[in-house]
Structures are given as C-alpha cells and as structure tokens.
Amino acid sequence: MDDFPDVLARAQHGDEAAFTVLFRTMQPMLLRYLTVLAGRAAADDLAAETWVGALRGLVKFRGNESDLRGWLITIARARWVDSVRAANRRPEELTDAPPDLEAPDDVAAAVVERAAADEALALIARLPAEQAEIVTLRVVAQLDVAEVAEITGKSANHVRVLCHRGLRRLAQLMPSASVMPALATTMDET
Amino acid sequence: MNLPEQSRDVDGLSAVALDRLLADVAAGQEPAAGLGSLYAMLRAASGPAEPGAQPGESAALAAFGQIVPVRRMRRTPVRWLSESKTRLAVATGAGVLFLGGGVAAAATGSLPDPAQGAAHAVLGAIGLHVPDSGGDNGSPGNGTSGTAPGQTGAHPSPRPSGSTGKPEHPVHPVLPVHPSMPPQSGHSSHPTPAATPTHPVATPSHRPSPLPTLHPHNH
C-alpha cells in the first residue's frame, strides 16, 4: 500500500473509509493465519476479537505496514491462546487435527485443480502445529524471521529450522509432477 | 551449534534453496527448477483475496465507529498543499500578484526596455496607457508628470547620450520599490497549518508500541 501512512493516519482520526482500506488489506492475512491455527470455524470469531483489540490501540499505533501486520498477528495469537486456555485444551490438539479441513489427499488434489488459498492453507495445516504456524507467518503474513521469533517467543534460529522442516514436509505433500502443468497454468492466471 | 538442516541437503532441499524459495514467493519471481509445485502452493496460500468486502467487515466497521472517535486532523504543509482547493487559491493568488505587479511596474515605467515596450504595446491595445521604453512621460500613474525623464531618480530609464546617441544606463541608478513585490504582511496573514507540524506519518520502528498482552505458547 503506497499511501499507508496517510491511510493509517486518517483511520486513527476516525475516517471509516480509511479503516475499511486497512481492514480489507489485513483481514485476509489474519483469517488465513487463524484458520491454520484454529480451523476455519473459529477463525472468524477470533479475527473479530482481534479487530476489537486492535481498534482499542489503533490511535496509539506507530509503525509501517509490516509493523501493523505483526501487531495484528500478535493480538490474534493472544486471542487464540486465550481461547484455547479457556477451553482447557492444548493448542496442539486444535492444530494437529483441524476439525474442518479436508483429508490431505483430497486437499492436495484441490490445490492442483483450483490453486485456491483455502486449499493451500489446509495443506499447511497438516504440518505439525509449530511448523504450520511459522510457515504461515513467513509466507502468508510475510513477516521476517526476527518478527516471527518475537511473536512466537522462539529464537531466530529455531524459527528458521522449523520453517525449513515445514517446507520440506510440504514438498513431500505436494502432488506429483504429472499434474504440474495444470497447477502452473492456474497460478499464471492469478 | 551445528544444525544439519541449515548446512546440508535434507530430502533434496537445502536451507539456502528454501530461503530463496521464500524470497521468490514474496517477490512473485519464478522459482528454481524442481520447486515449482511447492512455489505454486505457497503463492496460492499468500495470494490476494477476492476484492471488495471481506468477511466480518460490517462487524469491524461497527466496532470502529464505537471505539475510534472522529477527530479533526491537523494539516501538515504537505497535506495542506496537496488539497486541491488550497492549490487553486495559492495559484490564483500568485497569478494575481504576478500580473498586478507586472502591470504596476509597467505603469511606473519600471520594466526593462524590451518588457516596457511590450507592455506599452499590449496594455495600450486594451486602453491602458503605460510609458514606452523610450521614457514616455505624462502617463498617469508613473508619479513623474511634469518632471523631465531621468531626473526623478525613480527609474533608471535609458537616456540618449549626447555624444554617442546610444542609450546608456545611469551610473548611479536609484532603485525603486518594485511594485511587484508582495507586502511582507501578506505572509503573516497566510494560514499557517505548518505552525505545528504534527504529521501523523508512522514512525518506523521494529516493533509497534502498543503491544497487547501476549502469552506465547511454546509448543
């Protein structure tokens, strides 16, 4: 977003149109991250709670667009952790087997056919919880290693290792080369 | 600490190759050979959403209206000049000053010869009498009626030299107050949005200031 500082400033002064621009820029990333963490059904509610929390601090926020992404992710992660604790369940239990995602083979096929974000996220969600979150933060939220390390409370080295492991695992989950042309064609169109 | 994943290939994908793949995904560049499938999947995961309203938008806007108060923005110099009405007013004012000053200068014969001659011709065509470049006198408004040209000291108009017959500039011209100069007070009466430049442009920082309470969960 070229005019991010201006849009942010107007949103901080109550300009609804400017906030709409920010929301439409950030919400897809936020929903995808929360979908990988908690499943699609819970992502909408967690995203709504995230925005309420963000709006309370919006006036005082200072930073660039990447900072805003990291800030929203930090809030979203806190809401997710709170929701898991409230349910007396461990986060791994949610992310290891997302209840509303398709079986991996079906997901892989769907990615090839439609190359849609939802299916790709479902594939990422098949990773172990830590790897899934970090791959999502690196790829979907476009945060660098240092930002991911700060958000997740891990060392930068640990983040790199988990990300590489996750990507290698994803490479194994990807469909065979025989269907590559269809996938490449779909991606070219996007 | 030696980390095998960072120093050697595992499953055919080195850490360097994976880092390059992440950079390619972010930049939308073609991936290295053999990584096309993974690249395509990651691009799909990070691709743009459908344009227009996003899920949860109406609820977020309602919360925005309740939580974020509408406040008047202070205009910075950049913002002030970027507003179209302001630009128009500034341009109009500058034009009036320029043209008005030019006409006044022409009326007092203060322009250089070529410009004075041109002003005489142009303004004369619309009924305004201004001195010609040769030191026309008796024109209203030059303040030198009844005085021989060149004796008022009000304008260094060229006069024919007795010996050469060529125009010369006076040796010690007395510079007039140029009528095209805007009054100094004009600046002080200008709107001064820059008096308190509090541009709300975000100050880049590694971390934003209002961090919420985070409970990192180590898996």
Place of tokens 């010996």: B163
Question: Residue A32's pLDDT is what?
Answer: 95
Place of tokens 């070229």: A2
Of B219, B133, B93, the residue nearest A131 (C-alpha): B219
Question: Residue B114's pLDDT is what?
Answer: 72
Residues of A with Cβ-Cβ distance to B8 under 8 angstroms: none
Q: Which residues 25-84 of chain B have a CB within 8 Å of chain A?
A: 25-26, 35-38, 40-49, 52-57, 59-61, 63-65, 67-73
Question: Residue B112's pLDDT is what?
Answer: 72
Of A131, A180, A113, A174, the residue nearest B38 (C-alpha): A174
Q: How many CB pairs under 8 A join A and B?
A: 234
Using CB atoms, pick whichever of A56, A124, A170 lies closest to residue B67.
A56
Comparing alpha-carbon positions, the chain A residue that sits nearest to B19 is A164
Integer Cα distance of B166 and A50 in angstroms: 85
Residue A88: band (very low, low, confident or very high) from pLDDT cuts 50, 70, 90: low
Using CB atoms, pick whichever of B5, B49, B217 lies closest to residue A91.
B217
The mean pLDDT of chain A is 83
Place of tokens 């490449």: A184
Q: How far lies B28's CA from each of A65, A113, B37, B43, in Å?
A: 19, 20, 14, 8
> A136 with A36: CB under 8 angstroms?
yes
Question: Residue B211's pLDDT is what?
Answer: 37
> A39 with A99: CB under 8 angstroms?
yes
Residues of A with Cβ-Cβ distance to B42 under 8 angstroms: 120, 139, 170
Q: How far lies B187's CA from each of B75, B98, B182, in Å?
A: 18, 16, 9
Q: How far lies A120's CA from each of A169, B19, B42, B44, in Å?
A: 13, 19, 7, 6
Contact B202 A61 (CB under 8 A): yes
The mean pLDDT of chain B is 61
Question: Residue B51's pLDDT is what?
Answer: 87
Q: How far apart are the first and last CA of chain B?
A: 22
- Greater model confidence, B190 or B16: B16
pTM: 0.58
Q: For the residues B202-215, what does the mean pLDDT come to?
A: 40
Q: How far lies A54's CA from each of A36, A85, A125, B3, B73, in Å?
A: 21, 21, 25, 38, 21
Integer Cα distance of A129 and A96 in angstroms: 6
Interchain CB contact of B162 with A (< 8 Å): no
- Provide DSSP, chain B: ---HHHHS-BTTB-HHHHHHHHHHHHHTPPPPTT-HHHHHHHHHHHSPPPSS--TTHHHHHHHHHHHS---PPPPPHHHHHHSHHHHHHHHHHHHHHHHHHHHHHHHTT-S-HHHHHHHHHHHHHTT-----TTT--S-TTSS-TTS-TTSSSS----EE-TTT-SEE--SS------TTSPPTHHHHTS--GGGS----PPPP-SS-S-PPP------
Question: Considering only A84-93, A135-144, B132-141, B146-155, which range has the smallest mean pLDDT?
Answer: B146-155
Question: Residue B192's pLDDT is what?
Answer: 32
Residue A118: band (very low, low, confident or very high) from pLDDT cuts 50, 70, 90: confident
Interchain CB contact of B114 with A (< 8 Å): no
pLDDT of residue A131 exceeding 60: yes
CB-based burial label for A42 (10 Å; 0-12, 13-18, 19+): buried
Inter-helix orientation angle A117-124/B36-46, to 10°: 110
Residue A173: band (very low, low, confident or very high) from pLDDT cuts 50, 70, 90: confident
pLDDT of residue B194 exceeding 60: no
Contact B11 A171 (CB under 8 A): yes
Q: For the residues B48-77, what does the mean pLDDT come to?
A: 86
Integer Cα distance of B127 and B108 in angstroms: 16
Residues of A with Cβ-Cβ distance to B217 under 8 angstroms: 81, 84, 91, 153
Question: Considering only A64-78, A92-106, A123-137, B113-127, which range has the smallest mean pLDDT?
Answer: A92-106
pLDDT of residue B30 exceeding 80: yes
pLDDT of residue B199 exceeding 60: no
Minimum distance, in Å, between the CA of residue A9 and any CA atom of chain B: 6
pLDDT of residue B3 exceeding 90: no
Integer Cα distance of A87 and A92 in angstroms: 13
Contact A56 B36 (CB under 8 A): no
Contact B38 A167 (CB under 8 A): yes
Q: For the residues B12-41, what does the mean pLDDT come to?
A: 86
Q: For the residues A19-43, what does the mean pLDDT come to?
A: 95
